[in-house]
Amino acid sequence: MVTLSDIFEPIRLDLDQVEREFARHVESHVALIPEIGRYIQDAGGKRVRPAVLLMAARLSGYSGNLAVLYASVVEFIHTATLVHDDIVDHSTLRRGRQAVHSKWGNDVTVLLGDYLYIKSMALALTQDSLDVVRILCDVTLRMIEGELFQLSKNGDLALSESDHFEIIQRKTADLFGGCAEIGGILGNAGPEGRRALREYGFSLGVAFQLVDDLLDLTGREEVLGKPIASDLREGKLTLPLIHLVQQGGLHVRTLVADVVRDRQLTPERWQEIAACLSEHRSLDYAYRKATEFGARAKASLAVLPASPEREGLMALADYVLSRDR
């Protein structure tokens, strides 16, 4: 099976430069900022968002240094959302280690997230590209709106599938779409090419998040770096659970409602919920939706010329559907 390392190999040097740029731009006379920045970097991560931007730029014919700059901006934005989201979700772990707010406190972490957001826009503004800045501002605002919308629906067993997809669109898919479109702008892909790349990134982002939802329920704790069914423990219904509540009848609804109310998931409750997910094929349903969006992502690239970069983006869509973390 093709690994993420294989897919990213053609842009490996650029991704390494993104890492160096991130470290360079969190340097500060306030020692706490680079200290936390190093802690976040050391936790690792897939770097899928900056990679999408870098590959889309190459696919569009761009070979300059701005792709690394904007990929770094995207990584700042994504990191800011992670540290803020962990506070909002009361998540104590991130990638198997203490979340930043668990280690340094909420007050420091909120300010660090703010710092990263502002730093991202300051970096973007060093270049004269209003189109790119506009995209970055728009997706950042939509991510914050998505988090607020999700909070307003937390614990709501009546959450609809369409509402859940709106949350995914705002919190995840729009940033993926923005990354791919920025790559197209750098390479002067033209309106059709930009649109195709944006649609690719958007669909890839939806598939990515749906697989995340599934791994939260099916993955191994030591691989995920967090407890199984963390979303449910936090009162968040993802697509498999939305389907289960809709299909499972009163007993299932009561079972899920008890977990959401108590914010506790005992082994006995989890065993019963897992059996219900299997019985009603709710995991299969969510995976089918993910594969549909993966196929849409790949189909979006048909209007773009065949190249190793296009094949890389195609392979990334396949990887997203097969990953285990």
Give yes or no for a contact between 49 and 175, defined as CB atoms under 8 angstroms apart: yes
Q: How far apart, in whole angstroms, are the C-alpha atoms of residue 184 and residue 57?
A: 6
Residue 15: what pLDDT? 95
Residue 227: what pLDDT? 86
CA distances from 198 to 180, 193, 247 (A): 6, 9, 34
Give yes or no for a contact between 34 and 27, defined as CB atoms under 8 angstroms apart: yes
| Per-residue model confidence as pLDDT tens digits over 250-271 | 999 999 999 999 988 999 999 9
Residue 321: what pLDDT? 96
Give buried/exposed letters for 116-138 (b at 16+ CB in 10 A, else e).
bbebbeebbeeeebeebeebbee
Residue 224: what pLDDT? 79
Q: Within the chain, which residues score under 70 in pLDDT? A: none
Residue 269: what pLDDT? 94
Residue 324: what pLDDT? 80
- CA 297 to chain centroid, in Å, comes to 16
Instruction: Look at the domain 4-322 and name its fold.
Output: Farnesyl Diphosphate Synthase (1.10.600)
Which pair of tokens denotes residue 207? 């598939």
**What residue spans define the domains of the chain?**
4-322
